[in-house]
Amino acid sequence: MLIAIPVLIAGLVLLVKGADRFVDGAADIAAARGWSPILVGAVVIGFGTSAPELLVSSVAAAQGDLGLGVGNVIGSNVANLTLVLGVASMVAVLTVEREVLTREGPLATAAVALFALFILDGELTRFEGFVLLAGLVVALWLIIRAGIGGDTGELGEPSDRPMNMVALATGLGLVMTLIGAQGVVWAASEIASELNLTEGFVGFTLVALGTSLPELGTTVAACRKGQTGLVVGNLLGSNIFNSLAVGAAIALINPASIGDDLLTGRGAAIMLGAVVFAYLVSATRRRVSRIEGVILFAIYVGAIVAIAGG
């Protein structure tokens, strides 16, 4: 336990910092190869927000810790639309673009609902993984076609750095994420064992919160600068990629029983309820008020209690 907690913290730092380096480098390389700004933006905003979850859940699945991997997906989805959205709207009233309500909102709801449906029986199959992967392809196509990845104009400019330095930084970022993910999975498993907790609960709480903290920080910073228009859309977009990309990775790497009925039952219901409630709140006058932010934050606390209470 004394070793696991520092390893968890160090792993999360490596994971998040490495993911930033890797995604930024990948965007620079893609831009230098002439990819469109919208496509580069979709990669950065989509994969970038879900890279920590993808790496942690993939490593967990490969090691047979499906509860931890699935718990991370569910916990991250819930945290995005209750904790992060709630705190952000307490900092500043959030405006919601019309396109978010007509495109990203329904797409996120469908993605979360599909993932929730697949885990309700307590397992993920390889066929379900391919369905989630197909859903990801469709989602990417819609994002690129409609240009709903946010303001991507600046993302299409190639980096001023030499490409060999960009490639080196990108490779270093990938190595950091892999080492960080291994550390997080090991530490989370140790903590679960020492405290007699399920790995699903640790994934839902500690791991998901850790991978969501950077997003919370950047979202609050954007709100303080008055850049509130894209917050809701980006959080919904993160849930799209969490549910489809990370869900597909878990199912394709290790199709098996998840082994946590509370997580796949109550947890799945909480996740679906969170995305539907956040969408309805956002659709009310196309804004999220401070009072609604307090309610969303309270829902996150309630979700933790509900999962912990068994």
Q: Which two tokens stand for residue 92?
A: 């500043």
Question: What is the predicted pLDDT for the residue at 141?
Answer: 84
Question: What is the predicted pLDDT for the residue at 87?
Answer: 92
Q: Which two tokens stand for residue 253?
A: 């790497």
Question: What is the predicted pLDDT for the residue at 140?
Answer: 84
Question: Measured between alpha carbons, how far is residue 275 from residues 7, 104, 106, 190, 235 in Å?
Answer: 32, 11, 10, 31, 10
Question: What is the predicted pLDDT for the residue at 137?
Answer: 92
Measured in residues, the chain has a length of: 310
Domains with residue ranges and CATH for the chain:
4-309 (1.20.1420.30)
Surface-to-core class of residue 279, CB atoms within 10 Å of its CB (0-12 exposed, 13-18 middle, 19+ buried): buried
Report the amino acid identity of residue 234: N
- Phi first, then psi, for residue 287 (nearest 5°) are -160, 160
Q: Which three-class secondary structure string do you get for 206-236?
A: HHHHHHHHHHHHHHHHHHHCCCCCCHHHHHH
User: Are 295 and 86 a contacting pair, CB within 8 Å?
Assistant: yes
pTM of the model: 0.84
Question: What is the predicted pLDDT for the residue at 40?
Answer: 60
Question: What is the predicted pLDDT for the residue at 79?
Answer: 95
Q: Which two tokens stand for residue 44?
A: 């950065």
Q: How far apart are CA 249 and CA 77, in angstroms?
A: 16
Report the Cα 64 to chain-centroid distance in Å.
Answer: 21
Question: What is the predicted pLDDT for the residue at 69?
Answer: 94
Question: What is the predicted pLDDT for the residue at 149?
Answer: 45
User: Buried b / exposed e across 220-255, counting CB within 10 Å, b at 16+?
Assistant: bebbeeeebebbbbbbbbbbbbbbbbbbbbbbbbbb
pLDDT tens string, the chain, 310 residues long: the values are 778 889 989 988 888 788 778 777 777 776 777 766 555 655 566 666 778 889 899 999 999 999 999 999 999 999 999 999 999 999 888 888 887 788 888 999 999 999 999 999 999 999 999 999 999 999 888 877 775 444 444 444 556 778 788 888 888 888 888 888 788 889 888 888 888 888 899 999 988 988 887 778 777 877 877 767 677 877 888 899 999 999 999 999 999 999 899 999 999 999 999 999 999 998 888 889 999 999 999 999 999 999 987 6
Q: How far apart are CA 100 and CA 40, in angstroms?
A: 19
DSSP assignment of the chain: -TTHHHHHHHHHHHHHHHHHHHHHHHHHHHHHTT--HHHHHHIIIIIHHHHHHHHHHHHHHHTT-HHHHHHHHHHHHHHIIIIIHHHHHHHSPEE--HHIIIIIHHHHHHHHHHHHHHHTTSEE-HHHHHHHHHHHHHHHHHHHHHT-S---GGGGSPPSS-HHHHHHHHHHHHHHHHHHHHHHHHHHHHHHHHTT--HHHHIIIIIHHHHHHHHHHHHHHHHHTT--TTHHHHHHHHHHHIIIIIHHHHHHH--EE---HHIIIIIHHHHHHHHHHHHHHHHSTTEE-HHHHHHHHHHHHHHHHHHHH-
User: Buried b / exposed e across 200-214, counting CB within 10 Å, b at 16+?
Assistant: bbbbbbbbbbbbbbb
